[in-house]
Structures are given as structure tokens and as C-alpha cells.
Amino acid sequence: MKILPQTVSPNGIFDYTQLSAALKGYANIPMKIKRMVDNGEIVRLKKGLYILSSEYRQSPVNQMIIANLLDGPGYVSSDSALSYYGMIPETVKTVTSVSLKRSKLYKTPIGDFLYFRRVANDFSIGIRQIDSEQGSFLIANPEKALYDKALNDARFDGADIETYLFDDLRLEWTSKPNKKVLAALEECARGKMKKLVSFMRRMGK
């Protein structure tokens, strides 16, 4: 595909501005983009966001990067982050994120992306940037991922935390919890979430 070299977007992900710049030689850019979607050259994820089709990509799609771009500001968390760190045994199909915008589910040709809205003091705690060959993405660290999972899980009531973590989630946690992250979360947490943070603190002793 001559009109969309990888140098325009090395990870094969394009927004409308990038596409327009690459297609500036065409008189009707919106029509050209529509034809490219119809012909299977590019895949439309949502209005204004596209990826190269698998035929033209040089590397697999990194769904974590897509999750950061589909909605936000936000970060990958909950089941998706726990699976990324190898802390739960299940293969997660839907990429779950926390966002400052409204809760929403995007169904795209490359998978489903679920966003939970969270506007609170704990939003920015425990987020890290991962650099991959396809680009960078924001993801919760293990403590924050578990915190977000429990926060949005109707099964968690704070009554029997050990059963929830190790029977319901089948959690595997081999490293010591990050004390700084837990201390920051503890300042914001209330009720059942404060109990969870205290439990994670004890796991590190």
C-alpha cells in the first residue's frame, strides 16, 4: 500500500488527521477513506480512528494501545491488567480500562473494549507506562488493577477477602505489593475498598 507507509504510523494505527495527511493528493479524502474501509485496506474502529488491515500490518495489533486510543483519558486495568501480569489464569477477551469519560463498551472488528468511568482521587494512583515495539500504553500496576477489579465487581463486598481473591479470582501473587501505591490508595479508600487495601498490605509482610 503506497499511500500509507509504515513511517506515517509505525504501529499501523491512524487517526483521521494522519489519514488525511497521507491522502492529501486526493480531491475527496472522506470518500477515499470510505473506499479503503469498504475494500478492506483499513479497519474502522470508531469515527476518526483506523488501523491497517492484517494484510498490510507488519506486526500484530497491540490491543492495550488500541484501548488507550479508543477512549480516555484512561488506562488498562482490572482483568486485562491482571492477565497481563499473569496474576489470573483466565485468557481475557474483552480489554477492560478505567476512563474519566462515561462507562462504555466498544465492539470493534478486532475485539471488544470495555471502559468503567471513575472520577475520584484514586484515579491517577498506580499507573505505569509500558513501552512495546508497537508503541507505549498506560496500564494499572498490580495493586491498582486488583483495586479496580474489586471496585467494579458485584461479588466483592469486603466480607471474605481471602475467598474472593484466591477462590473467586484464583489470584496468583508472587511479588511483594508496592507499599507506596498502597499507602496512596489507603488515603482515598473507603469501606470495603479500605479493607482490601489493608489486606494487600498484610500480604507484603
Does 184 have pLDDT greater than 60?
Answer: yes
Cell of 196: 482490601
Please list, in sequence order, all residues whose beta carbon lies within 8 angstroms of the beta carbon of residue 186, skipping any fewer than 6 positions away. Answer: 194, 197, 198, 201
pTM: 0.89
CA distance 51 to 73: 20
The per-residue pLDDT for range 70-103, each reduced to its tens digit, is: 998 999 999 999 999 999 998 889 999 999 999 9
Q: Which residue has the higher pLDDT, 60 or 40?
A: 40
Q: Are 143 and 178 in contact (CB under 8 A)?
A: yes
Ranges of beta strands (E only) in the chain are: 13-15, 42-46, 49-52, 74-76, 95-99, 104-108, 111-117, 127-132, 135-140
The pLDDT of residue 111 is 93
Q: Is the pLDDT of residue 6 over 80?
A: no
Domain ranges across the chain? 1-60, 63-203
SS3 107: strand
From 37, 113, 38, 39, select the one nearest 72 (Cα to Cα).
113
